[in-house]
Structure 1
Amino acid sequence: MKLKDKEINLNIRNNFKVAPGLFSTEQLSQWLKMAEQCIAQKTCLAIMGPTASGKSQLSMDLARVLPIEIISVDSALIYRQMDVGTAKPTAQELATVPHHLINTHDPLQTYSAAEFVEDVHGLVADILGRGCLPVLVGGTMMYFNALQQGMSDLPEADKSVREALQALWVQDPSQLHAQLHDIDLVSAQRIHPNDPQRLIRALEVFKTSGKTLTELRALPKPSLSAFKLIKVALLPQDRSKLHDQIGVRFEQMLEKGLLQEVKQLMQRGDLHADLTAMRSVGYRQAWLFLQGDYDYPTFIEKGLVATRQLAKRQLTWLRKEPDLELFDPFSTTRIERLEGVLNLIQSHVRH
């Protein structure tokens, strides 16, 4: 689909606001043609990075110069009523640029990587059909991995089996890990004894299929060739700077009402601390503080530690990710990162 002249003119009028006049009309027109080529070649952009590294800001900057739609790759942003602690895009940002996979689920619901893969394939096809460039933005690396590597053919959830395993977890959590250790040592070594969601799922898979999670994951996966990905990561070289930014953002979340948000969730009466949504970083620590498990300074410390641990896991995964163009968010400017991404897209289109 060709971009119309009025769309080109609109992008030129909405020139990059942090530096008015930085880009010429000719540059903007070239980038729009580049976007057309990406769309024709069924190519998407992925912006990865640890929490608090500036992924959302980069995607919004791209929207100043390219016709994009954003697909969230964040397991927490799907939840409604969870805005502050997830650093969800503002109402203005959501209104300015189309966003997908945000506010799609109630905190009571679960959402699997397999569902994510299915949803993304449908969204990408729709976005390309509208003549826009799909930009996948987030830090849930398991989702990115599932999208690129495919999903093993696992059995669907079995309500009766799951409820029985959940009852066992309430009685004695160590029983579940011991069971998994006996039938699937590889999964038992990978899944923490205090992770009920993954423990229950691994045992459920075995009880419903007769095969272990390890056996099923070793089977050939379906080929994913519906679209190509150009991958960018915001990867800080100095982790202390990321930790500082995590601290600043956590403080901002508290000022914006994180504890009030969690209080409202608790007041619903149908949620509890072990739900997938409530195990999101920041929410679980706030919940336990509000129910009196520890004092305020401990809550702050636990919230920061949990966020840093999340960032560490994300960084570890990213360092193993192939074909990744890296930008340090703390030693480059917004303009440099934007131009770097645009140049990267240009180089892929030419090839």
Structure 2
Amino acid sequence: MSFPPAIFIMGPTASGKSRIALDIAAHFPVEIISVDSAQVFRLMNIGTAKPDQTTLSRIPHHLIDVIDPDQHYSAAEFRRSALTLMHEIIGRNKIPILVGGTMLYFRALQEGLSVLPSANPQLRHKLENMAEELGWPAMHQKLIELDPETAARIKPTDSQRIQRALEVCHLTQQPMSQVLKAPRLTDFPFEAISIALTPSDRSQLHRRIAERFDDMMDGGLIEELVSILRQFPSLTPEAPSMRCVGYRQAYLYLNDQINMMQLRDMGIAATRQLAKRQLTWLRSMNNERLQEFDCLSPNLSIQVRSFLQQRLHAQST
């Protein structure tokens, strides 16, 4: 039995994934699914490099503007939504093209996720109150006592991951590291055509990152965050939305913790670190069917289109 195709466009930030996806959409019958943990947030447009309204009205996009900035969105939620959308797109005789840099989402989609309990608002509120009184390093110490294996992989200041690990421990009455060793749900009834956009010259990618960050600043990133905080005054630096690169640094600036020069330097440095992690994820996938292209190539679009034509033709015959 052959499965319907799904195109994956992966790569580090500033590698041109969105541009390539739009070029593909101009030549193939596709609908785009965003694989971006930042673009799910409403109102966060400039710092997440969302497509503009003209593009969104011209080409179908999914999983953009899903939740408010004060809400949470998990890899499990992404997997459920993405699989549903992929089936619907195939039902419309089109090809789903999944585009983004959140490598955890790509892995969760293909390899599945361990069955973890859903978030418990009451327990989370209790943990947050404890953390406010004791501090997150002390909460990390509690995690060491309950689940040393998981604690060893989490920094004492990583409030989001500490909270989730403690939550799972309390809800399941066993260490999260043990829960994660259980069999995964791995149903993925699609034939992935995986494309990785990687740089042949890392310094050129760094230049793109700096230019992109400057464009976001010029485009009104700070003003956008001011508007968001006005609508959601309870947002803290620990909120998932405020942990996004660019917004975290802008938040510090608005709270007089850093100056404008530091905002730029820290934002670019954080984006470069993000790109490094994304490239590490790609290497760890070790997928023999992952087709790699130099994102700096002047004829990148032609190369990708030619590859897709061959793969889609081979699959249909």
Q: Same fold (TM over 0.5)?
A: yes
1:193-213 C-alpha deviation (Å, 9 max, x unpaired)? 221111100010001111211
**Corresponding position: 1:129 with 2:126:** no
User: What SS is found at the alignment partner of 1:134?
Assistant: strand
Q: Tell me the equivalent position of 1:202.
A: 165
Q: Which residue of structure 2 lines up, in the alignment, with residue 244 of structure 1?
A: 207
Residue 346 of structure 1 and its aligned partner are, at CA, apart by 3.4
Runs of at least 5 residues in structure 2 that lack an aligned partner in the other structure: none
Q: CA RMSD in A?
A: 1.5
Change (3 A) 1:344 1:298: farther
Task: Using structure 2 for the length normalisation, give the TM-score.
Answer: 0.94
Q: Secondary structure at the match of 2:115?
A: coil
Which of structures 1 and 2 has the bigger CA Rg? 1
> Which of 91, 113, 123 is residue 151 of structure 1 equivalent to?
113
Query: Are the equivalent residues in 2 in contact too, given 1:43–1:227 (CA < 8 A)?
Result: yes
Cα deviation digits, residues 290-330 of structure 1 (max 9, x gap): 11001111111111111111111101000122131100111
Q: Judging changes above 3 Å, is the alpha-carbon distance between structure 1 residues 340 and 181 closer, same or farther for their aligned structure 2 residues? A: farther
- Quote how far apart the aligned CAs of 1:344 are: 5.0
Paired position in structure 2 for 1:287: 251
Structure 1, residues 177-198: CA drift from partner, whole Å, max 9, x if none? Answer: 1111222222112122221111
Aligned to 1:185: 148
Task: Judge conservation of contact 1:84–1:253 (CA < 8 Å) in 2.
Answer: yes
* TM-score (ref. length: structure 1): 0.85
**How much does 1:339 deviate?**
2.8
**3-state SS of 1:271 partner:** coil
Q: Which has the higher contact order (CA 8 A, sep 6+)?
A: 2
Residue number in structure 1 paired with 2:264: 300
Structure 2 equivalent of residue 336 of structure 1: 302
Instruction: Name the CA distance, whole Å, in 2 between partners of 1:50 and 1:296.
Output: 25
Instruction: Report the CA distance between 1:342 and its aligned residue.
Output: 1.9
Aligned counterparts, 1:52-201, within 5 A? 52-171=14-133, 172-201=135-164
- Is the Cα–Cα contact under 8 Å of residues 113 and 143 in structure 1 kept in the other structure? yes
**Structure 1 residue 343, shift from structure 2 partner:** 4.1
Deviation at 1:347, TM superposition (A): 6.3
Q: Which amino acid aligns with 2:201?
A: D
- The CA distance in 2 between the partners of 1:260 and 1:345, in whole Å, is 45
> 1:346 aligned to 304, 312, 317, which one?
312
CA distance in 1, matches of 2:186, 2:229: 43
CA contact (8 A) 1:58 1:337 kept: no
1:238 Cα deviation from its structure 2 partner: 1.6
Task: Give the match for residue 222 of structure 1.
Answer: 185
Retained in 1: the 8 A contact 2:109–2:188? no
Q: Counterparts of 1:249-260 in structure 2 under 5 Å?
A: 249-260=212-223
Partner amino acid for 1:133?
I
Give the one of 281, 288, 310 matched to 2:274.
310
CA distance in 2, matches of 1:208, 1:67: 45
SS of the counterpart of 1:84? coil
What is the SS of the residue equivalent to 2:8?
A: strand
**Equivalent in the alignment of 1:274:** 238
Residue 104 of structure 1 and its aligned partner are, at CA, apart by 1.3
Matches of 1:170 and 1:270 in 2, distance apart?
Answer: 15
Instruction: State the match for 2:176 in structure 1.
Output: 213
Q: Secondary structure at the match of 1:230?
A: strand
In 2, the alpha carbon distance for the partners of 1:98 and 1:204 equals: 37
Alignment partners' CA distance in 2, 1:102 and 1:141: 17
**Kindly tell me: are residues 173 and 226 of structure 1, through their superposed partners in 2, closer, same or farther at Cα, counting changes over 3 Å?**
same
Q: Matched residue of 1:108: which SS?
A: coil
Partners of 2:313 and 2:154 lie apart in 1 by 41
CA offsets, 1:267-302, max 9 Å, x none?
222322221111100001001101100111111111
What are the Cα deviations for residues 147-183 of structure 1, in whole angstroms up to 9, with x where unaligned?
Answer: 1111111112122221121122222111111111222
Check conservation: 1:152, 1:217, Cα contact below 8 A. yes
Unaligned runs of 5+ in 1: 1-39
Whichever residue aligns with residue 216 of structure 1, its letter is V
Q: Give the Å deviation of 1:350.
A: 5.8
Comparing 226-235 and 331-340, the one that deviates more: 331-340
Preserved CA contact (<8 Å) 1:51 1:311: yes
